[in-house]
Structure 1
Amino acid sequence: MNATPIADACVETSFFNADSRLPIVLTPTVPINNLPGWIDAHREELETWLARHGAILFRDFGLPGPAAFEAFAEAISPALYGEYGDLPKKEGGRNTYRSTPYPERQMILYHNESSHLSRWPRRQFFFCELASALGGATPIVDCREMLRQLPAQLIDTFERKQLMYVRTFTRGLDVPWREFFDTDDRRAVESRCDAAGVRYEWLPNDELQTRTVCPAVIVHPLTGERSFFNQVQLHHIACLAPDLRMDLLDTVGLQRMPRHAYFGDGSAISDDDIALIGEAYERCAVRFDWRAGDVLMLDNMLVAHARDPYQGPRKIVVAMSELVERSQFARSAGA
């Protein structure tokens, strides 16, 4: 641990693990009376830390609740994104969200936020309003290190072929397409898919299937570094619980699974390759216990995150900013 004097406070920088530089932890040694001014005065330093380490944990900065967190995030990124459709809005917040509604006893697997969509946030903020009594960590992984951990041949295949995310809106197994697209008009759905480069097919029983080709490896637009950037774990059926996977295959078949992931040319990604990816994520993962008031800022294009199972109440508030368009990285699969 070393002390770094900045503005009207002295802030210590430290790391949780001697073998990992992720995240860098900032802790004031005296109260910071003018937090927006402190941020503004040291914006360049924060940017450098974020690019180098991929994640910054602000600890003991005296944020009393979600409103103070939102102001803190806005001071760093003035244009927070307030129209994210998949997360429930935080009560009383203008541009903040509650964490993903997902069973407490199940892990949310590693992913880069919205990497399967037409645009995604470069920055993502997490604020701990209430830490759970048991579990509930937010493991984070440096996606540059993932490229060093995974077999070179597999990375080459992902980079050349990209990924195809397939989603089938089947009644009772996923949200209805009308709810997801917020319209009853099929033509409006088709227009949105066309604009986003998403292939679609209308199936019997008023079902819709979409196919979206996205990068699996990107070059960061600011640092120029390559990063393993995707949501293959959240979509590939090998990551489902075995009983659920068999039930779904028996009920709807492989071609109509609610979600699945293939290489961008439509070829299968083997269960063995998915297992290798899961093992690499866990080798690279950094976990820490949340404390009330903590703020974790990620560069979403350099760092993936997950969520461990937990017991007891847990409140994490989320904010996102600096949207990046997939079209900046788009190319033909197999090119």
Structure 2
Amino acid sequence: MADHFLEIEIPQQRNYNSIPFPSVLSPNPKTRTISQLTETIKTQKPFLDTLLHDTGAVLFRGFDVKTAEDFNNVVEAFGYEEFLYVGGRAPRTNVVGRVYTANESPPDQKIGFHHELAQAPESPFKLFFFCEVAPTSGGETPIVLSHIVYERMIQKYPEFVEKLEKHGLIYSLFYGEDDDLSSPTGRSWKSTFSTEDKSVAEERKSDVSNRAAKLGIKLEWMEEGGAKRITGPLQTIRYDKSRQRKIWFANMVNWEVAGNGPVKMITFGDGTPLPADICYECLKILEEECVAIPWQEGDFLLIDNQAVLHSRRPTNSPRRVLASLCK
């Protein structure tokens, strides 16, 4: 690896069974430019895939990645198939190629821990994040290993986890008529399903309902406007075959939405309410186990979406983080 990347240590890293989380790679003189980096990614793909499998996340720091175009070139160099962001709640727009804004809600808004699209029947396997503008304080993207959360939860709340594994979760979410950029989950039904046609949704299976059905989603139109989306039951305790361990695959962001408690947002798959006290204890575990590395401009982070949950800490300074999703 010395001929290609340098593996470094930073203070925020954790170690699990002597394996750093996340792994952090920096350039040597042969991988400083963007063209050198993309060529090295292509030739060292087996090494990078193995490193991601072993650690769950890889932070690339110090490379000459300055623009969205540079980041798009990096993503394409990895050769992963693109995963289209359909059915998600975050307001985001395309920047260039396979690169999108990560979440367009104000940076002072916190986003809770989640696997990308955990509330959808299909979710991406890999995520890229790129820091184009680094905040002067706060604004980190904390990450946490899913199997560590599972292990701590089943040790502390075995009956709860067993019921979760048996029944899964049903997610009930609300879509407004228009995008609400003040909310991290403020994407409207029009943006989510790329259509404005709801007049014949129920009677004639409009484009909206067809798209929703393909995603395993039921839509209920609200009298006051907007739509209620019901998804599930979805499997929440999953088995990671490649690593031979169980993982926690619940979307924790919905338990932190202000003014809309967990009983309203999510239920067990059998329709019974979730115990709010246990849900919030899980949030504490996530915070205790997470790694929050301050962004530096040019950083890009590769995450295994099966193995790792991510979130966003608030900041009052300018922040621009871009994203790309992969199958």
TM range (shorter): 0.7 to 0.9
Q: What secondary structure does 1:133 align onto?
A: coil
Give 1:17's aligned residue.
13
Give 2:218's aligned residue.
199
Alpha-carbon separation, structure 2, partners of 1:140 and 1:203: 36
1:54/1:10 Cα in 2 relative to 1: closer, same or farther (>3 Å)? closer
Give 1:326's aligned residue.
none
1:50/1:175 Cα in 2 relative to 1: closer, same or farther (>3 Å)? closer
Cα distance, 1:83 vs. partner?
A: 5.0
Give 2:240's aligned residue.
220
Task: Work out whether residues 7 and 23 of structure 2, in 8 Å CA contact, stay in contact via their aligned partners in 1.
Answer: no
Tell me, which stretches of 5 or more residues in structure 1 are unaligned?
323-335
Alpha-carbon separation, structure 2, partners of 1:81 and 1:48: 21
Alpha-carbon separation, structure 2, partners of 1:89 and 1:207: 21
Q: Deviations over 1:281-327 (max 9, x none)?
A: 011110111111111000011100000010211111111111xxxxx
Task: Work out whether residues 15 and 21 of structure 2, in 8 Å CA contact, stay in contact via their aligned partners in 1.
Answer: no
Task: Work out whether residues 107 and 319 of structure 2, in 8 Å CA contact, stay in contact via their aligned partners in 1.
Answer: no
1:193/1:63 Cα in 2 relative to 1: closer, same or farther (>3 Å)? closer
1:212/1:152 Cα in 2 relative to 1: closer, same or farther (>3 Å)? same
Cα distance, 1:245 vs. partner?
A: 4.5
TM-score by length of 1: 0.81
Q: Deviations over 1:102-139 (max 9, x none)?
A: 23223110000011113211110011111011210100
Give 1:320's aligned residue.
325
Give 1:332's aligned residue.
none
Alpha-carbon separation, structure 2, partners of 1:201 and 1:119: 21
Alignment of 1:101-250 (within 5 A): 101-150=104-153, 151-169=157-175, 177-181=189-193, 182-184=195-197, 185-186=200-201, 187-188=205-206, 189-205=208-224, 208-213=227-232, 214-231=234-251, 233-236=252-255, 239-241=256-258, 244-245=259-260
1:37/1:205 Cα in 2 relative to 1: closer, same or farther (>3 Å)? closer
Answer with 220-229 or 116-125: which moved more. Answer: 220-229
Alpha-carbon separation, structure 2, partners of 1:179 and 1:48: 36
Amino acid at match of 2:22: P
Alpha-carbon separation, structure 2, partners of 1:245 and 1:118: 23
Alpha-carbon separation, structure 2, partners of 1:317 and 1:175: 17
Among 2, 6, 19, which residue is 1:5 paired with? 2
Q: What secondary structure does 1:121 align onto?
A: coil
Instruction: Report how many aligned residue pairs link the two structures.
Output: 301
Amino acid at match of 2:169: L
Q: What secondary structure does 1:5 align onto?
A: coil
Alpha-carbon separation, structure 2, partners of 1:277 and 1:197: 27
Give 1:89's aligned residue.
93
Answer with 277-286 or 72-81: which moved more. Answer: 72-81
Identical pairs, percent: 24
Give 1:277's aligned residue.
282
Task: Work out whether residues 58 and 294 of structure 1, in 8 Å CA contact, stay in contact via their aligned partners in 2.
Answer: yes
Answer with 204-213 or 18-27: which moved more. Answer: 204-213
